[in-house]
A and B are shown apart, each in its own frame.
Chain A
């Protein structure tokens, strides 16, 4: 079954993941639950606006200065949005746990998000996207997209955008 893919700039996604990793690790080292809550907030806003939460830094700073180059691929944006939303839920739960004194649970959730973001940024595997594609196999409403042809569910597509 063929489906219409869209242009997705994976550099914007990567920049978002790098900020999430950095802020989460920094929040843990400095014991700043407020920083974890800030990351949750940014991811939540990103989910609402359907853009990568920290994508604005890429758009207005990193890309214009040539510090990161666009990596536009034919892909489905929906699984990436779902992955960010999942991250937002975990970060919100983690922040809530930290503020309520459940520090082990709280920091575990924060680290989980950081590790999964690192797996995506450095390994090219998006766990949230894999979950999305797994749910789409059960034809759940709202989960209609299939992985791009020849791409393992959750992996970064092998084929670049056609322009």
Chain B
């Protein structure tokens, strides 16, 4: 009985692991897409990390969680971080080019303009800071 439950638990972990791997691969694809579209945002790359934030005016979690989190990150890093906010309703072309299908979505770009992280959905300040600090 217990061995059966353990075996089934192991199988469940493997299935969930496969799903997470598929999700990771999807994120890698988004990052690749972002790398290919970096010049849609800048003519000249800023020599610092960039946080690209896709939002819409009426996105509730953007207002209540994501925006305050980005403000917090900006306060901590000051001039060492460039934040680019894009309204997906005003710039659907950019949202499409970057593969953004829901908001909030944030991309963390390193100093060379390479997209290193993508967060689908709300990303807390701690997570964003950690991502930026590992660049």
Contact = CB atoms under 8 A, between A and B. Distances in A.
Interface of A: 25, 28-31, 69-72, 111, 115, 118, 122-125, 150, 152, 155-156, 158-162
Contacts of B64: 69
Interface string B1-15: 000110011011001
Contact of B88 (A30, A71, A111, A158): A158
A118 to B, nearest CB: 6
A30 B2 CA distance: 9
B56 A160 contact: yes
A45 B114 CA distance: 49
A158 B23 contact: no
B12 A159 contact: no
Given A150-B89, A155-B101, A161-B58, A123 B8 contact: no
Interface of B: 4-5, 8-9, 11-12, 15-16, 19, 23, 26, 56-61, 64, 88-89, 92, 95, 101-103, 120-121
Nearest to A30: B5
A158 B56 contact: yes
A3 B120 CA distance: 28
A37 B14 CA distance: 24
Contact of A159 (B23, B89, B101, B121): B89
| 10 closest A-B pairs by CB | A160-B58, A124-B102, A155-B101, A29-B8, A156-B102, A160-B59, A158-B103, A29-B9, A158-B88, A152-B101
A23 B95 CA distance: 36
A137 B125 CA distance: 42
B121 A124 contact: yes
B8 A71 contact: no
Given A29-B12, A124-B102, A155-B101, A115 B19 contact: yes
